[in-house]
A and B are shown apart, each in its own frame.
Chain A
Amino acid sequence: MNTNKPDRRRFLKNGVALAGLAVGGMRSGVAQTLGSEAVERHAKVAESYGERTRFETVARLPQAPTPQYQRAGIMLTPLQDSVGIITPSSLHYIATHNHAVPEIDPRQHRVLIHGLVDRSLVFTMEELRCLPSVSRVHFLECANNSTQLLAGDGRKAETVQDTHGKTSCSEWSGVPLSVLLKEAGVQKGAAWVIAEGLDLVKHAQSIPLEKAMDDIIVAYGQNGEALRPEQGYPLRLVTPGFEGLYQVKWLRRIKVVDQPYMNLLETTTYIRPMPDGKAHWFDFELPPKSVITRPSGGQRVPGRGFYEITGLAWSGGGAIQRVEVSTDGGRTWKDARIQEPLHRFAHTRFYFPWTWDGEETVVQSRCTDERGQVQPTLTEFLKTRGVDLNYWKTTKARVGFFNGIQPWKVTREGSVQNALL
């Protein structure tokens, strides 16, 4: 048997060489034709990480700096070109408070669970991957998304990317936080958890224990692959429906505690000062919001005739139950068709058939969520907050959690403009 081996090897070697010759011959023989070029390109793409065609150039844009937010380091999602409900990971909005994105070796990464628990535990990434997992579609949104229009300085918010670009939606995969907390054994007296990341300032956030035990995901996956570095690679929290602050990236620690710890951002930036000087803290869930993405600011309607209006709706209250569209400046409203299946705490795509008569008009949408919460008009919003428009335009107070209806004006030439400007 042993003596056969060299022969067999030689045979294999020769065989490979012959095969190589044959392939080489084939290549040179048909290299002049278009067909062979196509085959070669196809082979190259198949072994690499896919790129989009050079004809598609849709991209994120940095939010224009304002005196207040010059350090925020925000990149806006191009919602005007979105289709369906998933934001490509490459186009997911970024808000890191301008702190550099850490580069973390997943083999070295650990997450610690401790505090008011029976057993403190440390998990490696490999150990987390052994645990029961879930994949769910959820939006993330910065608390001050759609308010920059009213901030009064910086670039004018002309497109839907400017006005609403601080929200994106992905399928997130990971271990339910409740699984980790049950493994550690939550003790009596526990009421909150502190989640902490590994970024430059070690962002920490107090989260109600009830939410942590309900639906928070300790996520390692985004849209079918590992998280992107800007989205917290290798591990982050996804806290469905809550403002961006709660979506702690580069997660390294969960401490179970008895009260909120008043970390920096929940003590300053993400508390809403009101006109009377009092301030609302811990806003938690984002309000119901919708916006027409097509046609939207900066786009063109190509002449009178049929045009499908489409857009996105989402709410921290759960699933979107209803979206209405008005194409006559808000005089009449009709139900839009909602894309199914419905996901809770997720972008929801809506469609509305429209035949444009070529006259100037205003199109807008409003949504209702599963709690019956309805998106207000700007006027209604300001009335319930007890302030006038001028207050929002001049104040340096935080104008977060704005969810007013976004109207787009269509001119007779077919150009689309932000009707609030």
Chain B
Amino acid sequence: MKKIRTIIGKEWAEVFKNRLVLFSVIFLPLMLTILPLATIWGMSRFPASASSSVSTEEIEFFGDLCVGLTENECVMVYTLSLYTLLFMILPVMIPVTIAAYSIVGEKATRSLEPLLATPITDIELLTGKAIAAIVPAILATWLAYFVYAIGAVIMLGAELALAYVFAPVWVLAIFVVGPLMTFLSVSIAIMVSARVTDPRVAEQLSGLVVLPIILLLVGQSVGWVVVSRDMIYLIGVIVLILDVVLGFITVKSFQRETILTQWK
């Protein structure tokens, strides 16, 4: 346990002195917090133009969503639901940057060999590196979501914001499915990171994990799917299974020899 703590401390001390990593950890949550709030603020300031830009078909499609709401409120709630989905991208994207650097970054700076020569087990090393990537991602997501929720309360009013921003489906998505997805993306990032020689390649390959969320986002924005509680349950179960499988594969496929001898 002590060695895991040491690895976590080392990762944080090192990674957060890397401006590129720090930028991606701060920039993305910041943007995803500011963007929806600015949009809602704009809509509430210019209600007429905002409502006129939404088609009748969309209003009809999101009828359930908009029961009891004015047209303008419906547009804002619809926009909110789109943006809330964006918060599921954060726990996938943030750890990818950190985790991608964790193995391949050490390869690049040649610090991995002395580290692997210490009496640390593969499990301790991988757990330390995974936690170091997972915790900031989850905290940054939750913090961004919290700020976004407060902003929504201020701009939409407590009743509307609590009903839609803090709807059980989103609480489940952000606080349960989000961390599960973080673990998934970290497993993949570490696996990829152990097999490539350039941190950017590791980051780009691992970043592909975000694709299903983007598809979901696009699907919802064009009206193909509506993110429901059942859908979130289903995603949660699938991701949980993938977590177990990929976590196992990551540990089993972490071969010190391969990592060291395939350095080029």
A and B co-occur in one complex: no
**Contact residues of A with B, CB < 8 Å?**
none
**Contact residues of B with A, CB < 8 Å?**
none
